[in-house]
Structure 1
Amino acid sequence: MNKKVIRYIVLFVIVVVFSGWIGVLVDSVLPEHPKGDTLGMGVWLVFPMLTAIAIIICSKVGWKDIGFKPNFKRNSRWYLTSVLIYPVVTVIVLIVGAATKWIDLSGFNIKAFIWAFGSTLLIGFIKNIFEETVWRGYLTSQLDKLNLKDWKIYLIVGLVWGIWHIPYYLVFLSEADLQLVLPVNQTIFIVVAIMTMTCWSVMYIELYRVSKSIWPCVILHTIEDSLINPLVISGYISIASGKEILISPISGIMTSILYLAVGFGIRAYRRQSNNMMIPKDI
């Protein structure tokens, strides 16, 4: 293993884990402000990317590794995939939820939802450039250099990604919003959220690997933010009490299993394609 790569990864992880708490400290010394749009939250969001860029410059990591090139022609199927994954899985979950009467769709307003969805795409896209440059472009690409088994990379990225969110759930996001997603105490919510993101990591990492670009992941993440979060938090659907952990479009067990299946499906395609490219002995 490359010890230099490991040292920089460890440094990156340490900074990431503390970046949110630095943001909390920043907010604590500023005048009162509304939750959800603070300077400290900006620090939490931007600090990991700035750290990754600083490490790339100092360690002379190739910018090519990050995957900034969109490669549209080669990746057309993966751009389409990135657009479709969340809508298709969400529709499946809603159909199952409606059939079992665990999800109530009677209050769903399609026109209002389309407006809410479209109005958040641009800001979500910009925000997710920061995230996907960090989690896939930097962290995943560097872990790949260590020749780790896939499950270790999924686990490391998922855990770091999830732990980075802890200040967001504890401080930046209101408890009322947490309750709308999953009506449990904050500790259980954080555990479930980290497990959910670890499951999602398979899908994001494999999409990044197969496309060799962060941009399909940016689109995927943007669709997620604009689709499933408002669907639940803004009350377009209603989930039966006690069934959230099973069927929620955000953090339900069924939902996570479907996203895992998508991730492993992309992985199988990538591995098969790589095997076909390796010349065989005659």
Structure 2
Amino acid sequence: MKKKDNKTLRNVIIFSLVALSCSWIGRLVDLKAGTDANGSLGQLIWIISPLLTMVILRSWMGDGWKDLGINPRVRGNIFLYLFSLLFFPFMTMVIVGISSSLGWMDISPMSSHYVTAVGIALIPSLIKNIFEEFAWRGYLAPKLYTLGYNRFIVHIAVGLIWGMWHFPYLFLFVDTTESMITYIPRMMLGVIIMAVLYGEILLMTRSVWPAVLMHTTGNAFIDTLILKKFVLVHEEFSYVAMPSPEGVIAIVLTALAGLWMYQRRRRASSR
């Protein structure tokens, strides 16, 4: 392995260990302060630590800024931007339609209250996901790509670390009585498959912004739907009907989208 590759691998390991450690430090801070409210100091540590680590590694530990992906590169990528904006809202409608018709969930009237709630959630979600995506898709993924590993191995590695980073705060996003023994493996599979989809779009656009937009609309539409109780998934069907990453239908649809994007990239690169 080249000296440059050794340095990159070293920095990737540092990034991963710091990000995972700081997520638990943030949780411990919240436990010490006795708060689980959104916007807590612990959550701030959790969200910003990966990005701050990336800044340090790029600025002072030799990684540089060339592959950050901050250029939007909209020209020639309009379809991918539209796909990124609309995929999760469309997937959510499909899952809600299937699940409600089969009696797996109950739906509150989809009134202007939901649209308003989504609108309110968009800006905080955008800010949060700029921090998150410029760490995972703006640093970890491109650095692993430069090491020459198989693309799917990189997607899986990014998904594993990204998923584990969420562990300390899962309780804020999960409303279930299911055992974590069965929930966490399915959630990790969903996150890895999302990493494939995000990663393939990143490879085609060479920009982090499609991932920021996709993640933002996903959080705003899906989290609002579940956490604000606009839908109530029957407990015995939650493993399949949840529109969030751990739902079986969501996993299948995201996997199909990721495979489609992989094939699009392969066809484009072979021309």
Bin the TM-score by the shorter chain: over 0.9
The alpha-carbon deviation at position 24 of structure 1 amounts to 2.7
- Cα separation, 1, equivalents of 2:188 and 2:9: 23
- Cα separation, 2, equivalents of 1:266 and 1:221: 16
Match of 1:242 in 2: 236
Deviating 4+ runs (over 4 angstroms)? none
Q: Percent identity?
A: 29
Task: Answer whether contact 1:169 1:186 (CA < 8 A) is retained.
Answer: no
CA-to-aligned-CA distance 1:175-228 (integer Å, 9 cap, x gap): xx622xx33134543333222211111111111111110001100000011001
| Count of aligned positions | 267
Task: Answer whether contact 2:136 2:158 (CA < 8 A) is retained.
Answer: yes
| Higher mean C-alpha displacement, 197-206 vs 53-62 | 53-62
- Cα separation, 1, equivalents of 2:125 and 2:32: 28
Task: Answer whether contact 2:133 2:211 (CA < 8 A) is retained.
Answer: yes
- Given the alignment of the two structures, is residue 191 of structure 1 paired with residue 194 of structure 2, yes or no? no
One-letter identity of the residue aligned with 1:5: T
The alpha-carbon deviation at position 97 of structure 1 amounts to 1.2
User: 5+ residue gaps in structure 2?
Assistant: none
Task: Answer whether contact 1:169 1:190 (CA < 8 A) is retained.
Answer: no
CA-to-aligned-CA distance 1:30-66 (integer Å, 9 cap, x gap): 4x43533211110011001100111111233342301
Match of 1:268 in 2: 263
| Higher mean C-alpha displacement, 217-226 vs 70-79 | 70-79
- Cα separation, 1, equivalents of 2:247 and 2:170: 18
Task: Answer whether contact 2:54 2:135 (CA < 8 A) is retained.
Answer: yes
Structure 1 counterpart of 2:202, from 202, 208, 231: 208
Task: Answer whether contact 1:9 1:142 (CA < 8 A) is retained.
Answer: yes
Match of 1:18 in 2: 21
- Cα separation, 2, equivalents of 1:103 and 1:33: 31
Structure 2 counterpart of 1:85, from 87, 92, 105: 87
- Cα separation, 1, equivalents of 2:190 and 2:162: 11
Match of 1:148 in 2: 149
User: 5+ residue gaps in structure 1?
Assistant: 277-282
Task: Answer whether contact 2:27 2:169 (CA < 8 A) is retained.
Answer: no
TM-score, normalised on structure 2? Answer: 0.93
C-alpha change, 1:46 and 1:268, in structure 2 (3 Å) is same
Q: CA RMSD in A?
A: 1.6
